[in-house]
Amino acid sequence: MTPNVRISEIGLYLRCPRLVYFESLGGMPAKNDARKILLRSLMLSISQKDDLEGHLRKIASRLEEELPVIYEIDQEDVSSACRELEEEIAGIAQNLAGNLDLLLPYEAEVDLHSEKLGLSGRLDRLAVDGVPSIIRTGNAPTQGVWKRDRIILAGYAMLLSEIKSEHINCGLVEYPRQGLVRSVEIHSVDRARMLRIRDRIRMIKEGQLPDRLESAPCKSCSATERCQTRQSLASKFF
C-alpha cells in the first residue's frame, strides 16, 4: 500500500524538494522557532471578541509560562518573543477585530486523512461553517495569499470535501503578524497542483534525489551540508 503523503511534506517540497528527500532519510534536526510557535498558539487560543487587545495580552502572558513546558524550547527564547509581541499586540488586535466572525467558534488542530487521496494532515482551524483555515506566521503578501499557502489550503479542502461528500471551494489563511485573515477561493488548478506534488513526493521518498531549486533558501537551511555533499558525490559519477 502506498503510504500517505503528509501535507506538511507538501510545504517542505514547496520550499525545496530536497528537504523532503533528506527528511525521508531521517536525522533532520528539529527547529522550534519561539516566535512562530507563540503566534500560532496565540491565534488558536482566542475565545472572545470583546476587549480583544486585553484578551490577547492575557493569552500571551499565559503562553510565556506554558510553551516551554509543551515544546522543547528555552524559556528565555519564549520570553524574548513575548516582549517583542507586546509592542505589536495593539495593531494585531485592531486588524483582527473585524475578522473574528470568520474564525469563531472553531475546532483547533483537526486531524484529517484519506486513503483514496493518499493525503493526511493536521488542519490548524476548522472555522465557522466548516471552513478550513491555516495559520502562516510569515508576512502576508500585499494582496491575496502566497502560492504555497493556496496549495496547502487546497489539500486540506480536498480532505474535508471527502469527509463531507461535497466540494469545499473556499478557505482562510491567517497572517497573525499583521492580524490579517484572507479568504481564498479554491480552484480546480489548485487541487491538481496539490496532487501532482503528492506524486512527486512519493517518488522522492522512494529514493529519487530531486534537483535543487535556484530559489531554494540554502543559507538558512539545516540540510545545506548534506545537500552539498550529495551534490559533490553525484558530480563524480555523471
What sign does the CA torsion over 178, 35, 46, 141 have? positive
Positions in the chain short of pLDDT 50? 232-238
Instruction: State pLDDT tens for residues 79-90.
Output: 999 999 999 999
What's the pLDDT score for residue 210?
84
What's the pLDDT score for residue 232?
44
What's the pLDDT score for residue 235?
38
What's the pLDDT score for residue 61?
97
Instruction: Map grid coordinates 487560543 to a residue.
Output: 45
What's the pLDDT score for residue 237?
33
Q: What angle do CA 142, 143, 148 make, to 5 degrees?
A: 95
In the chain the domains, ranked by start, together with CATH numbers, are 5-30+105-237 (3.90.320.10), 34-100 (no CATH)
**What distances in angstroms separate CA 173 from CA 89, 127, 134, one per listed residue?**
19, 11, 5
Q: ω into residue 29 within 30 of 0, thus cis?
A: no
Instruction: State pLDDT tens for residues 139-197.
Output: 999 999 999 999 999 999 999 999 999 999 999 999 999 999 999 999 999 999 999 99
What's the pLDDT score for residue 212?
72
Separation between Cα atoms, residue 113 and residue 214, nearest integer Å: 33
What's the pLDDT score for residue 55?
97
What's the pLDDT score for residue 236?
39
Phi/psi at 18 (5° precision): -70, -25
